[in-house]
Amino acid sequence: MALKNTNDVTILVVDDNPINLELLSDCLTEFGYTVLLKKDGEKALALLERRIPDIILLDILMPGIDGFETCKYIKSMDRAKDIPVIFMTALTDTSDKIKGFELGAVDYITKPFHQEEVLARVKTHITIQDLKKDLQSKNRELQRSLERERKIADDLRLNLSISLPHELRTPLNSILGFSSLLKDPLYIPKPDKIAEYGEAIHQGGLRLKRLVENSLLYANLKLLKYTPRTRMFDQYDVFVDTKPFITSVALLKAEDAQRQDDLVLSLTDSHMRVSPQNIKKIIIELLDNAFKFSNPGSQVEIKSIINGTLCILSITDQGRGMTKEQIANIGAYMQFDRDFHEQQGAGLGMIVTSLLTQLEGGVISIDSTPGRGTSVSIVFNCNNGAYETQDTKSIKWFDPDDKHGCKIKGYKTLNLLDREEFTIFVINNDKENFSTITQLLTPAGFMVIEAKDFTQALEKALINPPDLIFTCLTALENQGIDKFGQMKMFSGNEKIKLIVMSTNIMESSNQEHILFMCDDQIMKPAKKKDILDKLEQHLGLEWIYEQ
């Protein structure tokens, strides 16, 4: 807190002795204080009706009303009761001092005055008063914050009671209704009907899954709201190549919404410093709203521009639009005009997007006109040049000249267990290696998590057990193999696959032993296709490529 400059401090001195008034005025004025002088209590009280000083020096023994009575009147005035009062007296009786403290005085200065003592006591109580005011201000702000949080909680409960039952019952009714038809022994539907019922059940399940995932994500983001910024990039400290990354995510979402012809991409090459999973979620939610609240055949544009070190990404539709009041009231489980428009969703998309943007250190803004459409813009830090990487060939996993032309948009599992998402760990201290694998796999639905070593990976595996790990020989040294064994045991997944990036050159003294403990190896410099081939082999996948 910045304390007041002496030039900003006003001191009222009340004493019937002109010599004392002159002495104190000279002393205090010399050090920059503004000094007001009054000869008795009545004049001091009259002044307080017009002007409020920062501190009062009050003589006790005065004609008319004495200092005790004057202090009593001051403490009864709402506008002046919080002003610190310091008594000035030649009285030495303890009972007089106690009486002064009981009336609300904060200190005493004894006569004859000593300049150093006067200045020290004035400075001390000005500081205390400033700290007190600062604390009161913070308490008021905290109270306002608590009121806002309480209102948010009340609105959340109300919105939950209104929208959540509908969002739960609608897909549940579909699942239960069509599944009951399939299990009815007296009704054997035709094959095309079975497929129709199965698709309805599947869509209902997906709708429920998204509701649960968004609800859990919203809860987690609210908990992370007060997380220090320095901890947000422990897991994701990479630059996302925006043009190919956003293009692949957007095309998949447009295909899912059957709006491929409506999607317009106007993207600039740049590298945003964001979590790949988070920016993917942001794009999906914003596109979901854009497609949901605009008519088929109308354009939905994704545009990015570079302004210095900032990347501005906007998604614009020509749909229903929102009023300023609706924008101001966006919240969890909040939906607008539900009585007039049938729509799916629990109203979490925009608030989740906003929280994710804040988590990534970005800024979000909404520009909307009812009946004309909505444009949502988000701003992130970016790097227009190449990644800042170490010029050491031994830590680079990939061939810089590799021009992997085939883009994957998904995969099929070849075993009986249908997996919605695989988790891949990249254990390495080079950000470019992690970034390359992330941008290759995230658009296809993989969760890619980074760890600098196996100790950090073991901690993260307790929350998100991996299905497969890419790492290097260096990370496997220094008990890396032992940590990997602990990871399989503690995570409950004994089938974690371990693939090491290596060369024909001896990189480790126990390289042969380490390679023997791994499931496979990829020779450096690798190509992206090598990664895809190993994932197909070890996870039982078949890639679906874009045509």
Give the model confidence (pLDDT) of 206-265 as tens digits.
878 877 777 777 777 766 654 544 434 444 455 677 888 888 889 989 998 899 999 999
Which of 57-71, 147-161, 192-206, 248-262 shows the lowest mean pLDDT across its residues?
A: 147-161
Alpha-carbon separation of residue 295 from 131, 291, 335, 476 (angstroms):
58, 7, 18, 54
Q: Are residues 215 and 184 in the same domain?
A: yes
Residue 242: which of 309, 317, 300, 305 has the closest Cα? 305
pLDDT of residue 83: 93
Q: Is residue 491 part of a domain?
A: yes
Running DSSP on this structure, what letter comes out for residue 526?
A: B
Q: Read off the pLDDT band of 39 (50, 70, 90).
A: very high
Q: Which one of 200, 226, 252 terminates a domain?
A: 226
Q: Are residues 308 and 449 in the same domain?
A: no
Answer yes or no: is pLDDT of 269 > 80.
yes
Q: Which one of 162, 195, 226 terminates a domain?
A: 226
Answer yes or no: is pLDDT of 356 > 80.
yes
Catalogue the E-assigned strands of 49-200: 55-59, 85-89, 107-110
The CATH number of the domain holding residue 77 is 3.40.50.2300
Q: Read off the pLDDT band of 515 (50, 70, 90).
A: confident
Q: Is residue 191 part of a domain?
A: yes
pLDDT in tens, 485-503: 888 888 778 889 999 998 7
Answer yes or no: is pLDDT of 50 > 80.
yes
User: What whole-number distance in Å separates Cα of residue 217 and Cα of residue 230?
Assistant: 21
User: What whole-number distance in Å separates Cα of residue 345 and Cα of residue 322?
Assistant: 17
User: What whole-number distance in Å separates Cα of residue 547 and Cα of residue 544?
Assistant: 9
Running DSSP on this structure, what letter comes out for residue 528?
A: H
Q: Give strand pairing partners of 133.
A: none
Which residues, 6 or more positions from 200, have their beta carbon under 8 angstroms from its beta carbon? 174, 178
Report which of residues 6 and 51 the model is more confident about: 51
Alpha-carbon separation of residue 332 from 146, 164, 327, 354 (angstroms):
18, 11, 13, 11
Q: Is residue 128 part of a domain?
A: no
Hunting for tokens 């690798």 — which residue is that?
526
Q: Read off the pLDDT band of 318 (50, 70, 90).
A: very high
Q: Are residues 215 and 244 in the same domain?
A: no
**Number of compact structural domains in the chain:** 4
Mean pLDDT for the stretch of residues 357-366: 86
Q: Are residues 333 and 427 in the same domain?
A: no
Q: Which two tokens stand for residue 311?
A: 């990347």
Three-state SS sequence of 209-235: HHHHHHHHHHHHHHHHHHCCHHHCCCC
Let me know if 297 is exposed, middle or buried by CB neighbors in 10 A (0-12, 13-18, 19+). exposed
Answer yes or no: is pLDDT of 508 > 70.
no
- Work out the percent of the chain whose per-residue pLDDT is above 90: 33
Q: Are residues 426 and 474 in the same domain?
A: yes
Mean pLDDT for the stretch of residues 301-314: 90
pLDDT of residue 510: 59
Q: Alpha carbon 380 to chain centroid distance?
A: 13
Q: Are residues 461 and 507 in the same domain?
A: yes
pLDDT of residue 336: 43
Q: Which one of 226, 250, 274 terminates a domain?
A: 226
How do beta strands 271-273 and 239-241 pair?
antiparallel
pLDDT in tens, 72-108: 999 999 999 999 999 998 877 788 888 889 999 999 9
The CA-based angle 402-475-506, given to 5 degrees, is: 70
The CATH number of the domain holding residue 181 is 1.10.287
User: What whole-number distance in Å separates Cα of residue 98 and Cα of residue 60?
Assistant: 13
pLDDT of residue 384: 56
Whether residue 16 contacts residue 40, with contact meaning beta carbons closer than 8 Å, is answered with: yes
User: What whole-number distance in Å separates Cα of residue 354 and Cα of residue 334?
Assistant: 14
Alpha-carbon separation of residue 430 from 416, 434, 453, 471, 525 (angstroms):
36, 7, 11, 11, 14
Residue 313: which of 355, 364, 373 has the closest Cα? 364
Which residues, 6 or more positions from 376, have their beta carbon under 8 angstroms from its beta carbon? 286, 289, 314, 315, 316, 350, 353, 364, 365, 366, 367
User: What whole-number distance in Å separates Cα of residue 466 and Cα of residue 447?
Assistant: 9
Q: Are residues 177 and 284 in the same domain?
A: no
Which of 157-166, 337-346, 404-413, 522-531 shows the lowest mean pLDDT across its residues?
A: 337-346
Q: Are residues 221 and 257 in the same domain?
A: no
What value does the mean pLDDT of the chain take?
82
- Work out the percent of the chain whose per-residue pLDDT is above 70: 83
Position 225: which residue type? K
Q: Are residues 199 and 279 in the same domain?
A: no
Its domain, for residue 362, covers 234-381
Position 194: which residue type? I
Q: Read off the pLDDT band of 317 (50, 70, 90).
A: very high
Answer yes or no: is pLDDT of 386 > 60.
no
Answer yes or no: is pLDDT of 462 > 70.
yes
Q: Are residues 325 and 277 in the same domain?
A: yes
Q: Are residues 250 and 218 in the same domain?
A: no
Alpha-carbon separation of residue 314 from 126, 306, 331, 511 (angstroms):
51, 12, 21, 49
Asked if the peptide bond before residue 112 counts as cis, ω within 30 degrees of 0, the response is yes
Q: Is residue 138 part of a domain?
A: no
Q: Are residues 403 and 524 in the same domain?
A: yes
Report which of residues 212 and 62 the model is more confident about: 62
Q: H/E element holding 307?
A: strand 300-307
pTM above 0.85, yes or no: no
Let me know if 434 is exposed, middle or buried by CB neighbors in 10 A (0-12, 13-18, 19+). buried
Mean pLDDT for the stretch of residues 15-26: 92
